[in-house]
Amino acid sequence: IKLLNVLTSLDSISEYSGRRVALVFSVNGA
């Protein structure tokens, strides 16, 4: 159960980081 929680947390962090990177690229492209 703990391992599953860690994987879920990493997935959430990855999703957040992906959005942040996309936002940075959009701002730099503008």
- Is pTM beyond 0.75? Reply is no
pLDDT at residue 30, as a whole number = 58
Distance of alpha carbon 15 from alpha carbon 28, whole angstroms: 20
How is residue 12 written in tokens?
A: 């959430």
The total of other beta-carbon atoms located within 10 Å of residue 28's CB is 7
CA distances from 29 to 5, 14, 16 (A): 36, 22, 20
Its sign, for the CA torsion 20, 21, 27, 30, is negative
- Tell me, what DSSP letter sits at residue 10? H
Please list the ranges in the chain whose pLDDT falls under 50: none
